[in-house]
Structure 1
């Protein structure tokens, strides 16, 4: 993965989101995602809201992150009613609206965007097809699924989509993690498969035959 981490920018986005979103309450996923997106200096944040209603905490955090990185924030909603409700809630919270709020089928909208480096899918069921269709950045990306369960069993089952998310593409999952924040976060870090990143660097290995005492050196 070639995204470069900046702890200073992450801290600023985290603190800004805490001030705007919580009013002294315990931090949650909004602050965490704001810090992550800002810390990796992402340039295209795509947020997919697959169900109407719900809070805008995540959106607030992503908007704060975009402000710190100078990146774009695009939100995809299911229908016009959801779009109006979303815009109203963001304006009431006095936070910057995404550059674009798109109404449409999430899979198609995401497929039409280029160089996505931070993709968040919110919903009650997996968004594997959305992740698979995304045209991710050549420098790597972070994929986030929000909407699972805090229980370990449910969290483990919701990770099923990561294995097939980037199959057949020029990208690969570097690592994934489950976090019990809010309703659960499933996060995958994706790196570039440029023909070099999948290969481990060659190294010299030294072995000694315990019976003969002979030393063997070979390169793997």
Structure 2
């Protein structure tokens, strides 16, 4: 999911659209008005190297209203150049039962007030913050039946698989 205003670069949105098709997921873009929507959809079609299914769009000048309509967000990208709009989107986002991955462009330390599983900040192009935001109703790592969750990690250098129980 992305939030764009008129004239913004759409390269990241094209990438998200391609990824959503490979993952059989929904890609939703919130735009401010119908002028922005038509420019956005036209740019997606012109700049895509292959024919793509166009992303869903929601027209809303206030992203908090649009965010209330969308349930179970797994991946969210916000541009912190539009600080008020991005903050409103983050405040009103309803993440999936396992939390979500949130990417904040052009802003470091933009993700405040949320519980994180893991977070990394990259000081490139204005700053990129990537975080796995915890679900609001976490139950200390236990599943509904009281069993623990297993997390696996494969070391890319050695090929070793590490398994953790939480």
What interval of TM-score do these two structures reach, taking the shorter chain for normalisation? 0.7 to 0.9
- Supply the distance in 2 between the matched residues of 1:184 and 1:133 (Cα, whole angstroms): 23
In the TM superposition, what is the alpha-carbon distance from 1:90 to its structure 2 partner?
Answer: 0.5
Q: 1:190 to 1:98 in 2, by over 3 A?
A: farther
Partner of 2:69: 112
Question: Which residue of the other structure, out of 11, 14, 19, is the alignment partner of 1:57?
Answer: 11
Partner of 1:176: 119
Q: Which ranges of structure 1 fall in alignment gaps of 5 or more residues?
A: 1-45, 149-154, 167-171, 202-220
Q: Deviations over 1:94-146 (max 9, x none)?
A: 35254311110211111110100001112414322211211100022011111
Q: 1:98 to 1:176 in 2, by over 3 A?
A: farther
Indicate whether 1:195 and 2:150 are aligned.
no
Q: 1:177 to 1:62 in 2, by over 3 A?
A: same
More helix by share: 1
- Whether contact under 8 Å (2:41, 2:54) holds in the other structure is no
SS in structure 1 opposite 2:12?
A: helix
Q: Which ranges of structure 2 fall in alignment gaps of 5 or more residues?
A: 143-147, 149-166
Aligned residues: 137
- Whether contact under 8 Å (2:63, 2:88) holds in the other structure is no
- Supply the distance in 2 between the matched residues of 1:52 and 1:173 (Cα, whole angstroms): 32
Q: 1:89 to 1:183 in 2, by over 3 A?
A: farther
Task: Calculate the aligned-residue CA RMSD, in Å.
Answer: 2.1
Looking at CA atoms only, which structure, 1 or 2, has the larger radius of gyration? 1
Question: Which residue of the other structure, out of 24, 46, 56, is the alignment partner of 1:100?
Answer: 56
- Supply the distance in 2 between the matched residues of 1:76 and 1:108 (Cα, whole angstroms): 10
- Supply the distance in 2 between the matched residues of 1:135 and 1:54 (Cα, whole angstroms): 25
After TM superposition, the runs of 4+ consecutive aligned structure 1 residues lying more than 6 A away are: none
